[in-house]
Amino acid sequence: MSNEFDFTEEQVLVPTNIFSYKFGESFNIDTIDSYVKGADGHTITLRNYSGARNPSWNELLSFLKNDDTDEYKYNNGFKCCDFAELLHNNAEEAGWRCAFVVVHIVRFVEGHALNAFETTDRGLIFIDSTGSNLPNSPKNQDKIVKVEIGKPYIPESLFPETGWNIKWENKGIVDTIKIIQW
């Protein structure tokens, strides 16, 4: 993927021990002893670009419609944090500032990873591009999610397809927003 922007790349690892971080608190970066791992055991590495900026809602939709992150299948070798890492890195490379987010959902043992974009006209938008492992899944599986503590996590298709519900499965109640790593 190429871009028309001039960037300086910075690689960022996502620490696991700030999972107990509460909004507004600070944490000591020197105490970090482990990092979020992908399904294959690799350390999740975010590539941030200095020239990336916040998209408008329409720019975000255009990017997501053309990005292929959601076309990967969810399986033992590629899980939600891999999708969130790939979407983050693709967005930054395309010139759009993107966050890697981990939330805790009550019925999950582990957290669930997704992304966030601070749009210029609609504010903070959470995007879940985790693909499905179902046969004949929709081609585009990008979903918007309203992430609020104490509320259900119910993704909704951004680009609905015939034969599929706009609303996806309720994954459970959001207990904590564990990480937002820009």
Residue boundaries of the structural domains of the chain: 9-19+32-181
What are 62-113's pLDDT values in tens digits? Answer: 999 999 998 888 888 899 999 999 999 999 999 999 999 999 998 776 789 9
Say yes or no to pLDDT of 47 above 60: yes
* Cα 84 to Cα 137: distance, rounded to the nearest angstrom: 19
* Cα 20 to Cα 15: distance, rounded to the nearest angstrom: 11
Biggest CA–CA distance in the chain, Å, is 50
pLDDT of residue 26: 40
H-type helices in 23-93, by residue range? 57-66, 80-93
pTM value surpassing 0.75: yes
CATH topology of domain 9-19+32-181: Beta Polymerase; domain 2 (3.30.460)
* Cα 151 to Cα 103: distance, rounded to the nearest angstrom: 12
Say yes or no to pLDDT of 3 above 50: no
Mean pLDDT for the stretch of residues 154-162: 93
Say yes or no to pLDDT of 19 above 60: no
